[in-house]
A = this chain, B = another copy of it.
Amino acid sequence: MGGTPANQILYYWEDMQPGSVRDLGTVTPTRDEIIAFASQFDPQPFHLDDEAAKASVFGGLCASGWHTCSMAMRLMVTNFLQQSASLGSPGLENVQWKKPVFPNDTLRLKHTILEARPMRSKPDVGLVRTAWDMHNQHGDSVLHMEGWGMFRRRHPAQVVATSD
């Protein structure tokens, strides 16, 4: 279905065990990157200007929450989805920007499989609910969210007709 070539796939739906936790590595945004993203998508003063940011509730120039989510996605793709039979996501729940992200913070993403269930309408696809958690170098949580993903199954469900 146009995702990762089959010979590179390590993770199918059956490999997503509820309770399992994966470290998906780190990203360190620079001041220039924070300003570039904000200039394009979120030009609020506390993402662009040091003086305005100092006077804001954040206390200093900080990344757009959308930038933080997008950096988390990059780690998710590079360090997990590209090795998986991922088919995309219908959405997310409970997105929390818990602390500001400042220039040169080192952000580590982990994901936890919360729940896995077959997709009734598609026997070759399963759904997985995942928690995303990103912490900075001080151990503070900066981002939490929960999302559903669709993954191809290694072994599609059999539709069995019985006379019992």
| A residues neighboring B (CB under 8 Å) | 1-4, 40-46, 52-58, 64-66, 69-71, 73-74, 77-78, 81-82, 86-97
Contact partner, A77, options B42, B52, B56, Cβ 8 Å? B42
Main SS at interface, chain A: mixed
Chain B residues whose C-beta falls within 8 Å of the C-beta of A3 in the assembled complex: 44-46, 52, 56
In contact, B74 and A42 (Cβ under 8 angstroms): yes
Number of copies of chain A assembled together: 2
Contact partner, A91, options B40, B82, B91, B95, Cβ 8 Å? B95
- The interface centre, meaning the residue of A4, A91, A93 with most chain B CB atoms within 10 A of its CB, is A91
Chain B residues whose C-beta falls within 8 Å of the C-beta of A57 in the assembled complex: 1-2, 87-88
10 residue pairs, one from A and one from B, having the closest CB atoms = A2-B56, A2-B55, A41-B70, A92-B95, A91-B96, A2-B52, A66-B70, A41-B74, A91-B95, A42-B73
In contact, B97 and A94 (Cβ under 8 angstroms): no
Cα-based distance from A69 to B72 in the complex (angstroms)? 14
Which B residue's beta carbon lies closest to that of A87?
B57
Chain B residues whose C-beta falls within 8 Å of the C-beta of A53 in the assembled complex: 2
Which B residue's beta carbon lies closest to that of A125?
B57
Chain B residues whose C-beta falls within 8 Å of the C-beta of A78 in the assembled complex: 43
